[in-house]
Structure formats: C-alpha cells, structure tokens
Structure 1
Amino acid sequence: MKSLSWELVPHKGIESGAVKVFFGMERALLRSILSEFVGPPKSFQPDEDDYEAEDGTWIRLRFDSDKLRDIEFLGGSLFFAGTQLHHGAHWEVLQKSLAAQGHSFRETEWLGDGFDFVGLGINIATHEQLGGDEGDDGVEWIIASGDWSC
C-alpha cells in the first residue's frame, strides 16, 4: 500500500484523494473501497472494522445498521486545514493551531476521555488521558462521528 495522507472533512468523514470515507456509507461499499488500498479489514467487534496499513495508518470504522457512524483515527497522517491532527501531533500545539482557526474545545461530554471540538465533530484524546505517561500530550486518537448529538 502506498502511504496515505488523510484530510478531515468536518461532520462528513475523512478522505485521501479520491478515497472517501463518509458517514452513512454502507459497510460493504467501504470494505470494497478500502480493501484496494489497505487490504481486508479485521473485525474484533460485530459493528467495527479495523484497517491497518504498512505505513502506520490505522482506522477503525464503527457501524450502526451497516451504515458508517464513527471513525476512529488511531495511526497515520490526518490533517485539517493544514494542521496535523495525528502522527506526531501534540495537544498544546494542536489546540493553539485550531483555536487560531476559530475552533474551540471543551472537556468531553461525548466520550470518557479527551476534548470535544463540536464545530469539527471530533474528539481528541492524548496518550496521558488514556493512561500513558504523565505529561505525554501526544495525540492518541481522533474520533469523528456522524452522530454528534451532545
């Protein structure tokens, strides 16, 4: 697989060139599209598919009635408006960059850990927040959802 760089499309999903992973897409279609780039998914839960690539990309897709509901970005390059959200991103720099673009955050009300950027439809959690070393503000995950009801 070639190295992919992904772009966050707020409240819609993620994309890399012509590859689009958008909320509401059917599971079978996403499996077909992503298998060409990453290979077949691993499924550890009945409503989830994990896609891991040699370049470090790791994306978990969560479904509701076979339609994409959530995207967990756990590894690889993910950008929004020129800001690196993952792959070496650190909270202090990341939140300042997003704030400069007019995006505010709050302590999460959606998940158990991290910060919600409601305007972008994402949750960001650091290594420290998820049990890593104290002071490790590296980004552990970016979770985007098509069901941002809080």
Structure 2
Amino acid sequence: MIQLTNEQAAEITRGSFGIGEAFYLMDEARPELIEDGDGIAFAGFPGDLRRVQAINELNFGSYSCGATPVTSAHDDYLVCQFEREEWIRQGYEAEPAAIGGISGGPAFQICESAAGLMSFAFAGIVYEFSEGFDLLYVTQARAIHDLIGWG
C-alpha cells in the first residue's frame, strides 16, 4: 500500500503498457469485515513462475484464483484453506508446485447484489502462504484502513 497523488500516479504510468502499471484506489469509507464462508479472488507472482529469460529480461509469471472460500476470518486477517483436488485449472502455463511469493498481491471479495449482479470489493492484501498446509493469509482491508488512519 502506498499513498500517491493523482499526479504521481500519472507520472509513474506515463508511457507504460501491459499489466502491473495500474493502481487500485482504496475507498476512504471503512470496509466491512470479510466473514467465514465469503468468497475471495486473489492474484500474484509466485516464485516458481519467475524466470530469467536473458541477462536483461525477467519473466514474472502470474497466478490467480477466481474464487475460494474464507475458512477463518478475524478482525485483522483472514485465512483460506485450499483443497487442491477441488480446483478447476485453466491456463497457458503449468500450475506451479507452490504459490509462495505472492505476498503483496491483492484479494477481492466476491459480492452479489439483490438483483444477482456480481462485483468485487477490495478485501485486503496477501501476506503469507503456508506451503505445508495450503493456507493463504490475507490482511483484512479494514485493518489496512485503520492503519492508514482514515475515518
């Protein structure tokens, strides 16, 4: 999380293209807590998919999960227990043996309106993945909001 002015963000992204150059603007309103059973989506760049292509070229392969339930929610963090046998896989690259290294990646809550429309709300930031137990740890957006000192 970094705090930038609109001018600073424009300077950083000037002339760039592709993924990774965009910013997500966190709302100043205090987020709701994510609860057990809520669905989240997340993404990041695991260490197993990072490759040196050439002396001056790195490839950071990405990994994302479109939906996983929250197994355990707390005031400042949440945990998702993965059950790999339940995963539906689709992608152009082989799935990494481990997804460690995605810390810092965003997580979004999967929301559904009364009319059945799906949307996403910022849920937090991945801060750890336990390879031994397939546990994903995410700092709750509300905890980040409170650290920033808004509201």
Q: TM-score range by the shorter chain?
A: under 0.3
TM-score (norm 2): 0.26
Structure (1 or 2) with the larger CA radius of gyration: 2
Higher RCO, 1 vs 2 (CA within 8 Å, ≥6 residues apart): 2
